[in-house]
Amino acid sequence: MITEVVKRTYDSFEDDLSKSIFLNRLCYSISGKKEYLENVVDRTVRNGTKWKEFKELMMRPKRNETVLFGSGIWGNTIIAELDSFSWRYIIDNFPTIQDIKGIPVIGAKDFFDKYSGESIVISSYKNKDAMIDQCMEAGVDKERIIDAASVI
């Protein structure tokens, strides 16, 4: 039954890129092996102009420290791609781990209760609007919100 659903979903994609993304994402979900995620990033993100501009923006000197909002797949991808960037925290509404590559993961509510002017990088495409709203409701200046979701 599951095999039929997967095959039907795969067959519903009309182009090779969509099929490749689906297969690699499925393999990542089953195995947890980052190589499948790397394949998706290679095919969709790394060579894009918007991604290159985003990386350039992130490497400029910052006056305040920067945090990443979201510890999911794209949050992990951003951390891996900007491996020399110094993150203060990773914030998440539902943190399930204590750190990623030594960067502390803290609850968003706890972070916003003590917010002190950091820039915040939004990592989730799916939850982008809600995350931006959450930042603004907590008093974060719009200029401090960096939308990475739009480049992934």
Residue found under tokens 């009309």: 14
Please compute the mean of the pLDDT values over residues 10-27 and round it to a whole number: 90
Confidence of residue 52 (pLDDT cuts 50, 70, 90): confident
Q: Are 121 and 111 in contact (CB under 8 A)?
A: no
DSSP letter assigned to residue 143: G
Say how far apart CA 70 and CA 72 lie, in whole Å: 6
Predicted confidence (pLDDT) per residue in 60-119, tens digit: 766 458 999 999 988 988 998 887 888 999 999 999 999 999 999 999 999 999 999 999
Prediction pTM value: 0.72
Average pLDDT score over the chain: 88
Residue 40 confidence (pLDDT) above 70: yes
Residue 124 CB neighbour total at 10 angstroms: 21
Cα 45 to Cα 19, 38, 39, 102, 136: the distances in Å are 16, 10, 10, 25, 27
